[in-house]
Amino acid sequence: MARPSREAVARWNLAYAEQTEALFGASTADGSAAVLRLADSYSAVARAWRILAADLAVPLWARHACAVAAEEFDRRARIEYARVNPDEDGA
């Protein structure tokens, strides 16, 4: 089976590690800085999923799963950004 590029996997690993730290930080600290870090980390994970989804070396089903995961992390980022900026419409 074809595998995604090492660079794409490394980017995903780094993004996910930051997201895990940010999630823990947001759960133990109050304030918009922790929530903004979490939102940014969700966006970074979404970008990493999209890079994997664009890798034509992997099967279509895997690319589709990556695209769906990217959408979910984008949704999570929007929720967290809205917590920081509740007056913005999220568009």
Mean pLDDT of 20-45: 94
Q: What is the pLDDT of residue 29?
A: 86
Tell me how far apart the alpha carbons of residues 47 and 88 are, in angstroms, rounded to a whole number: 22
Domain boundaries, the chain: 6-83
Mean pLDDT of 12-40: 94
Tell me how far apart the alpha carbons of residues 16 and 87 are, in angstroms, rounded to a whole number: 29
Interval 35-91: pLDDT, tens: 999 999 999 999 999 999 999 888 999 999 999 999 999 999 999 999 988 887 655
Identify the top-confidence range among 1-5, 17-21, 27-31, 52-56: 17-21
CB-CB contact of 47 with 15 (8 Å): yes
Token pair for residue 5? 């590029």
Q: What is the pLDDT of residue 57?
A: 85
Q: What is the pLDDT of residue 90?
A: 53
Tell me how far apart the alpha carbons of residues 91 and 73 are, in angstroms, rounded to a whole number: 16
